[in-house]
Amino acid sequence: MVSNENRLNELLEPFPSKNEKEAINNPAIRLYGRRFYKDQTSLEYLTEFLLVFASPKLNPEFSENTNYSYSFDIDFDTPRYWAENRVALKLFAFFPSSKLETRHSTHKKAYLEIKEVLETHVFGSADKKEATVRLLQSFLSGFVGVAKNRTWATYCFLPVSRNLLASELVWSHEKALKDVSIQNWRDSAKYFSSDRHIYMARGGELLFLQLANLFSDPNASDLTSMLANDNYRHFDKNNLENLAQCLKRGLHDLLTNTLGVLPELIQMIENILVDFQLDVKPTYANLGWVPKASRIEALLFAQEMQNICAAMLSPLEKLDLLKLLCSMQVLRSLCFQARRVDSAENHIPNFIGNYAWIVSEPEANSGSPIRLMAQTSFSYIEALLFRVIRNGELVDDNDKTKQKEADKNGFHIFRKIAKEIGLVTPRNGGGQRFVLTPELLCFLVAALLQPGERVRLTEFYRRAFAHYGLALGGDALNAGLEWCGNAGKKKSYAPPKDTLWIEEALQQGGFLVELSDAVSMVYNPGNARKSA
């Protein structure tokens, strides 16, 4: 019989095996990997994921290929990646719109010099040169992804092109102001940091490592067992390697072939500004780890990402869906791993994640059965996530500081992200519950169905439960009720009536085709990508 300690060690076994895990005394990081953090935005999860995917992961000094690698492969001896900071491009694009109180005089001077340099490469009169450069700056600033109340260096570009993917840079403004020796742009380099992980807080790295873990051992016994389950019959059981290649191609195309001449224009600007690049140490970032057990949810993640990448949508539409997918994957990962470790709740049939999210209509009346069910479901999930990182086998001592940090890396994240994407409402006050907005329904259709695929409504409900534990109706809803301790009440709620609002929302979105009074089909209208 396997002891609890041995079982826990097996569940926490890291990928890759060589890492700094032993030095971590944060129960949430030990549980979920290094790391999810509550202050990372949804867009920065996606941006960091794509940054790792598209960056060299073999030492450029010892590898002939120092360009983008577009792969899920890593060096197991030294898991790390080499990413560009694009500091000169950020200065040109974002300095004019940054906070006045964080603009250092040397940066202002460098910005004016950049404009002069670019003007020398434009033909025409002085006025035309100035207008052209001003137009370029305005154009690039329009690709801002995250700005908030930050200094220009910590702005994030929309990841619409590989040429806009940049590692995090943090500017220590207060320290720089006190240093009177800073006289020019190069002097300021020592106050830029690329290893702080404040905004690019490793969440995207973790999502990347989940896929690297999945594709490093596609024949793992837990994957084989999962795919043998009838609830996952919509997966290609024999070709995970093909899934990896299709996903690589889809993400590569998204980053290289969708925005016309934009990448060439950005590359031209960076070539002109090469003298303004700063060598900010370190030049690479170490990758953390994920639990090996997370390859189960990684397979769901990979299939959903492939469905989105294969759709004939605009790049911005795909990015919106992928951003939402990354957020949903974070929420799913927290719940999957928590349920593996915590065995206090009932087992749920037909869902490998072993939990349930019961959702209500966003505008459901107060006191309505489905709304009360959704509130109970959310309370159960929060209790689970709160409890699991207080597991005595995970916590080495009673240090309250470490426990507070652990909440930031686990418990707090679920509520924050779920509210941001509209999965939980209201943002403040009581009665917080799971809901399903039209935007989330659109996402589920794009993620769970291949482009051009149509399935019965009951099959769509089955996939939503099999992937996310979303109990939308029928047996899934009954299973969710039983898990939440409401088995005695389940007969009071008729699933067909409770799910009518979902059907109406699907119909309004153009995703529902009614063949008869008894048969409805859910349809993903995205056209399938032509094979290469």
pLDDT tens string 316-369: 999 999 999 999 999 999 999 999 998 777 788 889 999 999 999 998 888 888
496 and 466 share a domain?
Answer: yes
Between the two ends of the chain, the Cα-to-Cα distance in Å is 51
DSSP string, 241-279: HHHHHHHHHHHHHHHHSSSTTHHHHHHHHHHHTGGG---
pLDDT value at residue 457: 93
Tokens representing 170 are: 């943090």
Report how far residue 187's alpha carbon sits from residue 173's, in angstroms, rounded to the nearest whole number.
13
87 part of a folded domain: yes
DSSP string, 96-118: GGS-GGG--HHHHHHHHHHHHHH
User: Which are the contacts of 122, defined by CB distance < 8 A and separation ≥ 6?
Assistant: 128, 129, 132, 133
Fill in the DSSP letter of residue 350. Answer: T
**Helix axis angle, 240-256 relative to 295-310, nearest 10°?**
50
pLDDT value at residue 516: 74
Range of the domain at 335: 1-27+313-522+528-532
DSSP string, 2-24: --HHHHHHHHT-EESSSSSGGG-
380: left (phi over 0), alpha (psi -120 to 50) or beta: alpha
185 and 106 share a domain?
Answer: yes
92 and 14 share a domain?
Answer: no
pLDDT value at residue 528: 47
Which backbone phi and psi does 361 adopt, to 5 degrees?
Answer: -65, 135
pLDDT value at residue 212: 96
pLDDT value at residue 398: 58
14 and 55 share a domain?
Answer: no
426 and 479 share a domain?
Answer: yes
pLDDT value at residue 64: 52
285 part of a folded domain: no
284 part of a folded domain: no
486 and 356 share a domain?
Answer: yes
320 and 223 share a domain?
Answer: no
How many residues are present in the chain? 532
**507-512, Cβ contacts within 8 angstroms, sequence gap of 24 or more:** 508/438, 509/438, 509/441, 509/442, 509/445, 511/441, 511/442, 511/445, 512/457
318 and 371 share a domain?
Answer: yes
257 and 318 share a domain?
Answer: no
Evaluate whether 465 touches 357 at the Cβ level (below 8 Å). Answer: no
Q: Which of 277, 303, 327 is the endpoint of a domain?
A: 277
388 part of a folded domain: yes
Tokens representing 65 are: 């290929």
300 part of a folded domain: no
Tokens representing 23 are: 């030095």
pLDDT tens string 84-133: 999 999 999 999 999 888 899 999 999 999 999 999 999 999 999 999 99
293 part of a folded domain: no
Evaluate whether 232 touches 466 at the Cβ level (below 8 Å). Answer: yes
Where do we find the tokens 């087992």? 347
127 and 251 share a domain?
Answer: yes
214 part of a folded domain: yes
Structural domain tally of the chain? 2
Alpha helices in 22-62 (DSSP H): 27-32, 42-54
Report how far residue 208's alpha carbon sits from residue 206's, in angstroms, rounded to the nearest whole number.
5
302 part of a folded domain: no
Residues with pLDDT less than 70, the chain: 1-4, 18-23, 60-68, 238, 396-401, 485-498, 517, 527-532
Number of C-alpha atoms within 13 angstroms, CB side, residue 508? 10
204 and 350 share a domain?
Answer: no
Q: Which of 277, 304, 333 is the endpoint of a domain?
A: 277
Fill in the DSSP letter of residue 280. Answer: P
161 and 273 share a domain?
Answer: yes
Radius of gyration over alpha carbons of the chain, in Å?
25
pLDDT value at residue 496: 41
